[in-house]
Amino acid sequence: MSVPQERKLVTQIPGPKSEELHTRTKAAVSAGVGVGLPVYIERAGGGILVDVDGNQLIDLGSGIAVTSVGNAAPKVVERAQAQLEDFTHTCFMVTPYEEYVAVAETLNELTPGTHEKRTALFNSGAEAVENAVKIARSATKRDAIVVFDHAYHGRTNLTMALTAKNMPYKKGFGPFAGEVYRMPMAYPYRWSGDAETITEDAFTAFTNAVHAQVGEEHVAAVLIEPIQGEGGFIVPPKGWLGRIADWCREHGIVFIADEVQTGFCRTGDWFACEAEGVVPDLITTAKGIAGGLPLAAVTGRAEIMDAVHAGGLGGTYGGNPVACAAALGSIETMKDEDLAGKARRIEQIFRERLEAMAEKHGVIGEIRGRGAMMAVEIVTPGTTQPDADLTKKVNAACHRQGVVTLTAGTYGNVLRFLPPLVIGEDLLHEGLDVLDTAFAESL
């Protein structure tokens, strides 16, 4: 690996060259595009990002759960490079190519369930979600889509409607697409009782509300993230997903799992639904699929996927050959290096270290997540009152010390960790040392 796997700070963060570039950004790039940490990256590999000033930062974000195989992962680069030299684009709808088919075959095999499946490829998570909705509507001849509190599904018009949070995703961007109904989400930290009671209560609230407000017979699909991502890494209680999936089957409703963030070994399985033995009708994937190249997919039951009229799905770039080649390299890496196992090991390390921190710093209300998708919810000690300001402070303190962390959550009070699955354990521990200090400093 050409990028040295160590943290090294040679300037303040951000350094002078990054600051210069950021001045250009402000003059050239829409202010609507936010930047979390204005450190400009020159090279990256494994668990390290190297900036233009020569600082080496520990990556606990993977570009929001994308570079699970590491940045510029060898097999991704090799396959994408070879493909670049062969051809870069034909449009699969005009003259197709094998790489697209190979990705579809791989997804049909890897995703939960042994039923016959089909796949369609797109460019982004939002586009995959939009298409999953189109497919479900076309197959059921129904309109309504049911989503949940705290959900995140994208920034296009339909996916904004599916997304729960106003700021920054929806504010001022309406009117939104119709026939979207939001239901309560089983959020254990903010719902009283044990797991079984929460599942039961939330499920009753959910089914009653759908029945009263929508009518089961109008519902085309229920769309859910098996672990909510942007909403704050909310892990629902055991049984919740399965209850919903069963209820969907009973009512002829398509159960769509949005695994854009949770998929591809991130949670310690190929897909997060597997931990509960839940088999979705349709599954949306993106992010980790192609090691950093834009690719997304909808995979699902053949009879649902094939219900759409010929020509009804597509797009100029969907399933671009270079992105497909990268995906094949990324998936091969996940298999060869048992990255699902690595994700489980990362969870162990995080839990142990975060629990110790929670004991020391009374502001950690909950530690949660699965695999290499871990988070802490930060609250006023002794209460469940969200502390978004402190969350920002701790996040910024990590950044200043060269550790890239991310925030999340409906209330902005979740600090989340999405390291590349190939990150070395020493780097993880060092990142966690920095986090520990960041808490101590910020309180």
- By beta-carbon proximity to ligand PLZ, the closer residue of 260 and 397 is 260
Helices (H), 120-255: 125-140, 157-162, 195-213, 240-250
Residue 272 beta carbon to ligand PLZ: minimum distance, rounded to whole angstroms: 10
- By beta-carbon proximity to ligand PLZ, the closer residue of 100 and 152 is 152
Residue 230 beta carbon to ligand PLZ: minimum distance, rounded to whole angstroms: 6
- By beta-carbon proximity to ligand PLZ, the closer residue of 3 and 41 is 41
85, exposed or middle or buried, with CB in 10 Å at 0-12, 13-18, 19+?
exposed
User: Cβ(92)–Cβ(121) under 8 Å?
Assistant: yes
Residue 399 beta carbon to ligand PLZ: minimum distance, rounded to whole angstroms: 17
User: Cβ(244)–Cβ(269) under 8 Å?
Assistant: no
How are beta strands 282-285 and 180-183 bridged, if at all?
unpaired
Residue 440 beta carbon to ligand PLZ: minimum distance, rounded to whole angstroms: 29
Degrees to nearest 5, angle at CA 294 with 324 and 254 = 85
Which chain residues interact with ligand PLZ by CB under 6 A?
64, 124-126, 129, 152-155, 225, 229-230, 258, 260-261, 286
3 state DSSP class of 148: strand
- By beta-carbon proximity to ligand PLZ, the closer residue of 97 and 152 is 152
- By beta-carbon proximity to ligand PLZ, the closer residue of 106 and 285 is 285
- Helix then strand then coil, % of the chain, to nearest 5: 40, 20, 40
Which residue's beta carbon is nearest to the bound ligand PLZ? 125
Residue 127 beta carbon to ligand PLZ: minimum distance, rounded to whole angstroms: 7
181, exposed or middle or buried, with CB in 10 Å at 0-12, 13-18, 19+?
middle
Residue 156 beta carbon to ligand PLZ: minimum distance, rounded to whole angstroms: 8
- By beta-carbon proximity to ligand PLZ, the closer residue of 154 and 371 is 154
Residue 318 beta carbon to ligand PLZ: minimum distance, rounded to whole angstroms: 13
The values of phi and psi at residue 369, to 5°, are 130, -175
Of 285, 244, 366, the C-alpha closest to 66 is 285
Partners of 71 in the β-ladder: 46
User: Cβ(183)–Cβ(154) under 8 Å?
Assistant: no
- By beta-carbon proximity to ligand PLZ, the closer residue of 62 and 83 is 62
